[in-house]
Amino acid sequence: MRIAMTLFEPVGKMPEPAALAGFVPCRSEDAVARQLLRPQLDDERETLLLAGFDAFDRLVRFERADGDATGRCIIPPRCWRGLLDSNIATVVMAHNHPSGAAWPSDADMRSTQEAVLFLRTMGIDLVDHLIFVADGHFSFRRA
């Protein structure tokens, strides 16, 4: 015996499936992502950014690390040292994927977990880790 189902239209508009998984389209990016971070990224190779903010959400320190010949970014100790010497309270970590794939790799997830643990021991919060592509970015916090 078959049961007939009725399809009802949802009230309002459903968010895009990508938005549910942490993707933020360019048109919805906040000022920090759109005006501070996105212009610093290289279209040709992976670039990593660390933005340190004080307790009043003022930008105190900005660190940048470019990818190596393999295209992979490593956070050099000089970047961490620069942030820690600047009396910061929070950090936003961001990098780009020139390939266009916004979703985090296993290495991205590992580096985020390691950064959270490292910063937490210093009493600093990792606010978010963003992965930029041409049409938006992936947010670990949103996901």
List of domains in the chain = 18-139 (3.40.140.10)
Find out whether 128 and 139 touch, Cβ atoms under 8 Å. yes
pLDDT one-digit tens code per residue, 97-139: 998 999 898 889 999 999 999 999 999 999 999 999 999 999 9
- pLDDT for the residue numbered 18: 46
β-sheet with 59-66: strand ranges across: 23-25, 136-139, 125-133, 90-96, 47-53, 59-66
pTM confidence score: 0.82
State the pLDDT at residue 45. Answer: 85
Here the contacts of 68-77 (C-beta below 8 Å, separation 24 or greater) are 71/45, 71/46, 71/98, 72/46, 72/107, 73/46, 73/47, 73/48, 75/48, 75/50, 75/111, 75/115
Mean pLDDT of 9-24: 60
* pLDDT tens digits for range 51-96: 999 999 999 999 998 876 565 667 888 999 999 999 999 999 999 9
Q: Pick from 97, 105, 101, 93: which is nearest to 141 by CA? A: 93
